[in-house]
Amino acid sequence: MIEFDQVSRRFGATVAVDRVSLTVPSGSITALVGTSGSGKSTLLRMINRLIPPDEGTIRIDGIDTATLEEVALRRGIGYVIQGNGLFPHWTVARNIATVPRLLGWDAARIEARVRELLERFGLDPAVYANKLPHALSGGQQQRVGVARALAAEPEILLMDEPFGALDPIIRARAQDDLLALQRRLGITVVIVTHDMDEALRLGDQIVVMDHGRVLQAGAPEQILARPAVDFVRQLVGDADRALRLLALTRVGEAAETVGSTEPAGSGEAAGRAGAPLSSAATLRDAMGALLWHGVETLPVADDDGVVRRRISLPAILTRARRPQ
Ligand SMILES: Nc1ncnc2c1ncn2[C@@H]1O[C@H](COP(=O)(O)OP(=O)(O)OP(=O)(O)O)[C@@H](O)[C@H]1O
């Protein structure tokens, strides 16, 4: 758990972070969101003391970070920045090995770790280990940046606009990969973004900042349904709120069972509307598909491709309503 207790930081006359108190629970993703200059990056960088606070206390698992050696503190904290920050003249393998080398791991252990990480991130070590970063696509470079941050098995991962430079399709995939990775490793992730949709998609907790202050911190549903102040309401978008709420729920969670089991692609609605929806799609996707095909229900295929359920317009409407 990371705790901020009345933390402030000034740069000259600018108050970048203003008396912030906040708890980041362990093993979850917290998204810091807000307009440019609201203090998100400063708050993030105070966790690993790249920027020391002027006032207040930051505790990690109960220990005041001001009492720790910087090297010891940063050993347990991975850090990823926009545009990945890879060293351009170092190979992919050497980039990933940066922190293990600093920590004095032996060569065999470093090599095994680099190989393991490349494989985990879908980059064949035989192909990619000895390439320079510029020979990789933006999405691949971004994955190497995350691999490097995770090399020494940190329990905390700090990410500052990590997907900002990626195109929308690669970006969506990178977000899915991060979610899967975080769930698998159980690490604590704090991510800075100015994109509310990204924050809602990734965050277990959303922290909305403005002028160095935390305006609201809560679960995505709470931020959407009960924005604490006008600024948060504007940020979540009055008109878009229902659709954003739908994007938080998977089709599988709202689908209804149909009588008989039928293989994917069969059935009356599927015949009219094409392929069934995946149970992993969001209700926002489902809404779009229903409108597009002009139907009130669509079949839903489970992970094994078999259609056992369907999603209906009334079921979606129930979920789009403001939670009580
Ligand atoms: N090193 C610095 N020197 C002077 N002022 C700074 C410095 N770092 C940040 N600031 C100022 O502090 C305020 C908060 O900046 P910060 O980078 O934390 O905001 P942010 O929300 O991350 O913004 P962005 O999304 O644009 O990166 C801004 O007014 C910024 O100009």
In terms of Cα–Cα distance, which of 259, 257, 258, 309 is closest to 279?
309
How far is the centre of ligand 1, averaged over its atoms, from the C-alpha of 59 (Å)?
A: 23
Place of tokens 């689908």: 255
Residue 266: its pLDDT value, please?
Answer: 46
Residue 274: its pLDDT value, please?
Answer: 63
DSSP code at position 250: B
Domain boundaries, the chain: 2-237, 247-320
Q: Is the CB of 94 under 6 A from ligand 1?
A: no
- The residue contributing the CA closest to ligand 1 atom 30 is 37
Residue 48: its pLDDT value, please?
Answer: 94
Instruction: Compute CA distances 73 → 3, 109, 174, whole Å.
Output: 15, 22, 27
Q: Quote the CA–CA distance of 178 and 170 in Å, as a whole number.
A: 12
pLDDT in tens, the chain (324 residues): 999 999 999 999 999 999 999 999 999 999 999 988 999 999 999 999 999 999 999 999 999 999 999 888 888 899 988 877 899 999 999 999 998 998 889 999 999 999 999 998 889 999 999 999 999 988 899 889 999 999 988 999 999 998 887 888 888 888 888 898 899 889 999 999 988 889 999 999 999 999 999 999 999 988 888 888 888 888 887 777 888 888 888 899 999 987 655 444 444 544 455 678 999 889 999 998 998 888 889 999 988 888 989 999 888 888 877 766
Residue 264: its pLDDT value, please?
Answer: 47
How far is the centre of ligand 1, averaged over its atoms, from the C-alpha of 16 (Å)?
A: 6
Q: Is the CB of 40 under 6 A from ligand 1?
A: yes
In the CATH scheme, what architecture does the domain 2-237 have? Answer: 3-Layer(aba) Sandwich (3.40)
H-only helix segments in 124-217: 125-128, 138-150, 168-185, 196-202
- The residue contributing the CA closest to ligand 1 atom 24 is 36
How far is the centre of ligand 1, averaged over its atoms, from the C-alpha of 17 (Å)?
A: 9
Q: Is the CB of 164 under 6 A from ligand 1?
A: no
How far is the centre of ligand 1, averaged over its atoms, from the C-alpha of 32 (Å)?
A: 14
For residue 301, what are the β-bridge partners? 278, 307
Q: Determine the CATH number of domain 247-320.
A: 3.90.1280.20
Asked whether the beta carbons of 33 and 206 are under 8 A apart, the reply is: yes
**Helix/strand/coil for 3:** strand
Report which ligand 1 atom has the smallest distance to the Cα of 44.
18
Q: Is the CB of 297 under 6 A from ligand 1?
A: no
Instruction: Compute CA distances 167 → 49, 107, 172, 194, 324, whole Å.
Output: 31, 36, 9, 16, 37
